[in-house]
A and B are shown apart, each in its own frame.
Chain A
Amino acid sequence: MTDASVAVAGAPSTTRRRWLTTIARQRELSLVAIMFVLGGLVSISAPQFLTASNLSQVAVLASVTALAAIGEALVIITRNVDLSVEAMIGLVAYVVAISLETHTLSAPVAILVGLLIGLVLGMINGFVIAVLRVPAIVATLGTLSVFRGIDYFIAGSHQVGLASLPDGFTDPASGDIFGIPIFVVIAVVVVAIGMVILRSSRFGRQLYAVGSNPEAAAILGIPSKRVVFTAFALCGLTAGAAGVMWVMEYGTINGTAATGAGLAIIAAVVVGGVNIFGGSGTLAGAALGALFLGFIANALILVGLSQFWLQAIYGAVILAAVATDALILRRIQRATSRRASR
């Protein structure tokens, strides 16, 4: 059993790999297919759904979720989870907004500081989990509360309005490059960079190895603590980026910004085909998952269903994705054990 899993983690046989990638591709393809069907159906009752302006608005909103989902995907690939992302987004968003309102920082510096705060918060999570060995679920449930509390403490009942941000700061949210919204370009670039790193760097391979079989990874001498720490730190960094984009997108920021966004982010990651049991999934899938959920949210509004359905849909999506993952995983295990016994 152990021998087999080591072999799988080390050098997967070509047939098996082909089979796995087919499934992985299917998840992304099936998401796209569902979106097309859904788009067709919705546009029958709401013709404004398939207009360029509506679709680009959906894509811009989804890009913010997608960026946070990319970091969350890194964490979930290592077989952990980060519940504190929404609090990191909220805290970064408020700090950036208030430092711009009080003219403490110029816009570029504020953006850098926002990213840096995200990174530091992520490193705190990574330290508590990798070094202090607190299970991720407990650690990030705790830091979710701590980060949000700090946010409330700084913000009080103050709200930064759109008018008090410097001129042009929120322009990237509505601007475009060759007709493609800037936010979408950012998300695509980050996904591309991340995919290259995961596919061809040592860190990327180690990330999958730790997630797919921690014991085998330890036997191979992979520094799993460092890998998990880095995944959480990067998750903080992308949450910081999402926080900055949150300010640009919404403009009006108070202590409750991004409350409840965490479940949508996790739902995006798992619906995008990142296996909740760790070890497989792509960043493009996570980003696509965010787009998919954004699509559904928009369709709900246009069809006239209440926004209240959204929360239940996120829950159903998480449950459906985890059930599918488990089913696929068991099929694979059964298939490999049959092949091994032959």
Chain B
Amino acid sequence: MTAVAVPRSGTFAWQRLIRWESLLVIALLALIAIGNSLSPFFLTAGNFANLIAALMEVAIMALPMTLIIVAGEIDLSVESMAGLASSILGFLWGAGVPLTIAIPIVLLVGALGGLFNGLLVARARLPSLVVTLGTLALFRGLALIVLGPRGVSDFPAGFTELGFGHVPGTLIPWPFVVFVGLAILLGIVLHRTWIGRQVYAIGRNQGAARFSGVRVTRVKIGLFMLSGLVASLAGIILTSRLSSARADAAQGMTLTVVTVVLLGGVNIFGGSGSIPGVALAVLVVAVMQNALRLASVTVEVQSIALGLLLILSVVIPNSAHQAKSAIDRVRGGRPPPAGSVRRGEEAQAR
């Protein structure tokens, strides 16, 4: 109530953002309390290392997805690109290609797949939803064609160490180091550079951004290439962690990736969201999955919770905005249009 009394200068939006992130922190603490009551091993460093490691492919793919959704687009094909990466890696290794050559090839394929998405979306101006739905099927199909139903699992120990091992002397899994490095890099790009400002500008009003000299096509193609590249990296890490390359690797992972991004407070309509919020959401989902596993809920049934979480992370901000408009109406003020809140947030961020 007090928040509403604050003059409409953007402070409200800023507080709303803070509230969303504090909501996540509260959810995280509650989940930790629940997990702790389920098992005495929950609050051990070893368990935390495990629950973090289990979600790192999703977390890594969520970072470029954050930028893409902020820019008002979506990439549904990331899970298939990760599967294609795993498939090609297995195929090349099976054919006797050393990993030092195979891994760069796989990353190149990822970037090219992203370029394909980007060209169709930004150059041919097709809706990203349908384009990436098509490549979701296409990339998975290519993965199946390359590797077929077999699995390749005779990878050298040095490679499986990448996904499975820890930083020497600690319990920190290597993929977590990759995630943190990428999060810091993309966080700086999104929140501290002109590229990030352009990404927000495209998400808020693409036409206005174009007239202001933002190279919309180029930025979007870049974002999709980044997404493809990072998805193939996630595929390599997944292959390493499971020490097995399969064509059906990462199936269904896009749901979790999108859930993490939207739970992190990124607006599905584009224009707002932050990397720290998404990083927090990664922790929430990791702890939730671990707690559910301790409560002996199978991975398949956990998808109920994940699906509900995805829908709620859009419904709650929506209805919060509606409730605020209603309160404003009762107080005699006219409700601000949805855009003005966002603009307020922009001003605050500067």
- B318 touches A (CB below 8 Å): yes
B307 touches A276 (CB 8 A): no
Interface string of B265-287 (1 = CB under 8 A from A): 00011000000000000000000
B268 touches A145 (CB 8 A): no
A138 touches B137 (CB 8 A): no
Interface string of B133-164 (1 = CB under 8 A from A): 11111111110110011000000000000000
- A139 touches B (CB below 8 Å): yes
Please, which residues of chain A bring their CB within 8 A of the CB of B258?
A: 138, 141
Please, which residues of chain B bring their CB within 8 A of the CB of A153?
A: 300-301, 304
Chain A residues numbered 273-313 whose CB sits less than 8 Å from any CB in chain B? 276-277, 306, 308-313
CA A254 to CA B143, docked complex, whole Å: 26
Please, which residues of chain B bring their CB within 8 A of the CB of A276?
A: 127, 130
On whether A132 and B137 interact (CB within 8 A), knowing A141-B258, A144-B307, A152-B301, the answer reads no
Please, which residues of chain B bring their CB within 8 A of the CB of A310?
A: 141
Please, which residues of chain A bring their CB within 8 A of the CB of B60?
A: none
- B298 touches A (CB below 8 Å): yes
CA A103 to CA B138, docked complex, whole Å: 42
CA A137 to CA B131, docked complex, whole Å: 13
Chain A residues numbered 95-138 whose CB sits less than 8 Å from any CB in chain B? 128, 132-135, 137-138
On whether A134 and B304 interact (CB within 8 A), knowing A314-B137, A314-B141, A319-B134, the answer reads no
Q: Which residue of A lies closest to B148 (CB)?
A: A308
- A-B pair count, CB < 8 Å, reads 139
A316 touches B138 (CB 8 A): yes
- A47 touches B (CB below 8 Å): no
Q: Tell me, rounded to whole Å, the shortest Cβ–Cβ distance linking A99 to chain B.
A: 20
Interface string of B185-224 (1 = CB under 8 A from A): 0000000000000000000000000000000000000000
Number of interface residues of B (CB under 8 A): 48
Q: Tell me, rounded to whole Å, the shortest Cβ–Cβ distance linking A115 to chain B.
A: 23
Stretch at the interface among B5-13, B309-317, B324-332: B309-317
Q: Which residue of A lies closest to B322 (CB)?
A: A133
- A142 touches B (CB below 8 Å): yes
Between B126, B262, B302, B311, the greatest number of chain A beta carbons within 10 A of the residue's beta carbon is seen for B311
Q: Which residue of B lies closest to A148 (CB)?
A: B303
CA A149 to CA B148, docked complex, whole Å: 27
Which of the residues B124, B127, B145 comes within 8 Å of A312, measured between beta carbons? B145
CA A137 to CA B310, docked complex, whole Å: 11
Which of the residues A143, A149, A263 comes within 8 Å of B136, measured between beta carbons? A263
A318 touches B133 (CB 8 A): yes
A263 touches B300 (CB 8 A): no
A146 touches B307 (CB 8 A): yes
Please, which residues of chain B bring their CB within 8 A of the CB of A322?
A: 126-127, 130-131, 134
Please, which residues of chain A bring their CB within 8 A of the CB of B17?
A: none
- B120 touches A (CB below 8 Å): yes
Please name 10 pairs of A and B residues whose Cβ atoms are closer than 8 Å in the assembled complex, sorted by A.
A134-B318, A137-B129, A141-B258, A145-B306, A149-B303, A266-B133, A309-B141, A312-B144, A313-B141, A323-B124
Where the two chains meet, the residues of A that have a C-beta atom closer than 8 Å to any C-beta of B are 81, 128, 132-135, 137-139, 141-146, 148-150, 152-153, 255, 263, 266-267, 270, 276-277, 306, 308-316, 318-319, 322-323, 326
